[in-house]
Amino acid sequence: MANLDKNYNWDATSYFEDLVSRNVLAQSQGYKFGRVSGLQGLEDYIAAAQSTTAAVCVSDISPGYTELNNTPHTRRVKTVFLMKRHALGDMAARQRCMDELRELFRQMMSVLFKERTRLEQGVLYFDPRVQFTEIEQYFALGTACAYFQIGFDVYTNLVYREEEWLS
C-alpha cells in the first residue's frame, strides 16, 4: 500500500519521453520529444524547430481540481501533442501524416492500457476516456497536428497540520 502521508503525482513528461524513445514507429519516422506550454507553446516549438519533421510534445501546464470528500484526490489533465510536417498544400501527404499520428496514438494507448494496473498500484487512477483531437490544417501550415488528453486522479493528503499555519 502506498504511503498516504504524502501527495502523489505522475510525471507524464518523463513517461511519454520514454515511450517516444522506445517506440519503433516514432524512432523510424524521426520523432523528437519536446516540452511545451499549451497550444501556444506548440506553435512556438514548430516555428523554432524548422529541422524537426515530427515530434511528440507534452505540455507542462495541467488543468485540474481537488475534490474535498472522504477520499480527497486531485484530478490532473495532461496534454500530449503530436506533429508531423508535410509538403505545403499536399492534402494527400497531410492525410498520410494524420494516419501516422493516429497510429502513434494507438500504439501509445496500447502501452498505457498494458501498464495501467501497475501505475494504479501507486495510487494513480486514469480516466478510461482519453480524448484525441485533430487540429485543423490552418493551425500550422505544412504540419499535421493532433493532441490527446489524459485525465488522472492522484491521492491528495488534506490532513490539517497546525504547524503549517501562523497563529
Expressed as residue numbers, the domain containing 93 is 12-157
Residue 66 has pLDDT above 50, yes or no: yes
Residue 163 lies in a domain: no
Amino acid in position 34: G
Quick: pLDDT tens for 106-160. 999 999 988 887 777 767 788 889 999 999 877 778 899 999 999 988 878 888 8
The per-residue DSSP string of the chain comes to ---TTS-----HHHHHHHHHHH-HHHHHTTEEEEEESHHHHHHHHHHH-TT--EEEEEES---EEEE-SSS-EEEEEEEEEEEEE--TT-HHHHHHHHHHHHHHHHHHHHHHHHHHHHHHTTSEEE-S--EEEEEPTTSSTTEEEEEEEEEEEEE------GGGS--
Residue 6 lies in a domain: no
- The CATH number covering residue 80 comes to 3.30.2000
Residue 110 lies in a domain: yes
Residue 4 lies in a domain: no
Residue 112 lies in a domain: yes
Residue 62 lies in a domain: yes
Quick: pLDDT tens for 75-113. 889 999 999 999 988 999 999 999 999 999 999 999 998
Model pLDDT, residue 71: 79
Model pLDDT, residue 62: 86
Residue 13 has pLDDT above 50, yes or no: yes
In the chain, the number of structural domains is 1
